[in-house]
Amino acid sequence: MDAELIAMQLFSGVALGAILIMVALGLSIIFGMLGVVNFAHGALFMVGAYAGLWVASLTGSFWWGLLIAPLAIGAFGMLIERVLIRPLYKRSVDDPLLLTFGLGYVLVEAVRIVFGSDGIPFSTPPELAGVADLGIGFFPIYRLFVVGVVAIILLLLWLGLEKTKFGLIVRAGAKDPQIMRVLGIDIAKVWLLVFGLGIGLTALGGVLAAPMRNVNPEMGSLVLAEAFVVTVIGGMGSLVGAVVAGLLVGVAISMTALFAPEMATIVMFALMALVLLVRPQGLFGKPGRA
């Protein structure tokens, strides 16, 4: 097996990991702040992909889809939080989980009604088609682009969390929601925004993934399981954990695909089982939360 092939496969793992990071980060941010596991997260990833597809076909440009779809789905996420999830905060932690599962069920069927049950191909935008020779091998330009976009988003998120007042509130609130009450911050508004942000991230993941996969109503269901695996490995509520575990899982999948293709879909679950045995709270999770 030559080094070039391995390098290419490694890179394709990073690109896959980048998408997983977007989904898992959204999941983790929402959980960290609201204590809600969003079981509709995969469905909203899928809705994001369809929204991107739809906007792109209306405007004739992938770029508008990439920009508008995450914002629109993020806003839709805020609506979900406001109408469906907020009434459940005082109840058992299981209730929002059950509700979002039902919501995912409804969203998948709604997309089937609007766009049909069959997959829709989403072609790579012409500006990003083709491959680039980086000296160590040929890499698809679109995947380089995906990794670049995710890196920029991560940088922006990091800056937003570390340097802005909103970020300060979010970080403090994730550690101890009581603090926000003491400081007189309107928690409801913060939660609304955080939920929207988390959903926006997964929708962006969906749009970015669209040209790499077939867009179909079931595409979210695999992603949800993948995002859970990433979150469990990385540690629930840990943003660093989501990034590291996302890359780890992406690379593990693509490397297994190279050496033992039939194991590719199974390897991430095996990784998760291993982490559970050795460190149930996840690589970056705090003990006690698990």
Partner 1 sequence: MSASTSSIAAGMPGQAGQRGWRARLVAWRVPLSILALCLLPWLLPSKALAVNVLVYGLVAVGYNLLFGYTGLLSFGHAAFFGAGAYATGIAIGQFGVPWFAAVLLGIAVGGALAFVIGLLSIRTRGIYFSMVTLALSQLVYYTALQASSWTGGENGLRGFTVAKLDIFGWSIDFLDPVKKYYVLMVFAAAALWLVSRILNSPFGAVIEAIRENETRARACGYDVERSKLISFTLSGLICALAGTLSALHLAIVPLDILHYQTSGMIVMMTLLGGAGSFFGPFVGALAFLLMEDVVSLWTSHWQIVVGTVFILFVLFLPKGVWGTLLAWRAGR
Q: Which residues would be at the binding site for partner 1 (CB under 8 A)?
A: 31, 35, 37, 39, 84, 87-88, 91-95, 97-99, 101-103, 105-106, 108-110, 112-113, 221, 224-225, 228-229, 231-232, 236, 262-263, 265-266, 269-270, 272-273, 276-277, 280, 289-290
84 vs 187, which CB is nearer to partner 1? 84
State the first-to-last Cα distance of the chain, in angstroms, to the nearest integer: 40
Rank residues 68 and 230 by Cβ distance to partner 1 and give the closer one.
230
CB 61 → partner 1: shortest distance, Å? 31
Nearer to partner 1, 88 or 128 (CB): 88
- Smallest distance from partner 1 to CB 221, Å: 7
Closest separation in Å from C-beta 81 to partner 1: 14
CB nearer partner 1, residue 185 or residue 222? 222
Our CB check for partner 1 shows the closer of 52 and 220 to be: 220
Q: How far is the CB of 287 from partner 1 (least distance, A)?
A: 11
Cα angle vertex 205, ends 201, 207, to 5°? Answer: 115
Q: Rounded distance, CA 24 to CA 237, Å? A: 10
Q: What's the DSSP call for residue 61?
A: -
Read off the tokens for 69: 């779809």
Q: What's the number of CA atoms in the CB half-sphere (13 Å) around residue 81?
A: 29
Match 């496969």 to its residue by tokens: 9
Least separation in angstroms between residue 117's CB and partner 1 is 9
Whose Cβ is closer to partner 1: residue 12's or residue 100's? 100
Instruction: Give DSSP secondary structure letters for 150-192.
Output: HHHHHHHHHHHHHHSHHHHHHHHHHH-HHHHHHTT--HHHHHH
DSSP line for 21-35: HHHHHHHHHHHHHH-
User: CA separation (Å) from 100 to 68, 95, 144?
Assistant: 24, 9, 33
The minimum distance between CB 52 and partner 1, in angstroms, equals 22
- Structural element, H or E, at residue 149: helix 141-163
The 3-state DSSP class for residue 119 equals coil
Nearest distance, CB of residue 194 and partner 1, angstroms: 17
Our CB check for partner 1 shows the closer of 110 and 159 to be 110
Q: According to DSSP H, which parts of 35-122 are helical? A: 41-59, 62-80, 94-115
Tokens 């802005």 locate to 164
Can you tell me the distance from the alpha carbon of 255 to that of 230, in angstroms, rounded to the nearest whole number?
Answer: 17
Which residue number, 75 or 266, has a Cβ lying nearer to partner 1? Answer: 266
User: Whole-number minimum distance, CB 28 to partner 1, in Å?
Assistant: 11
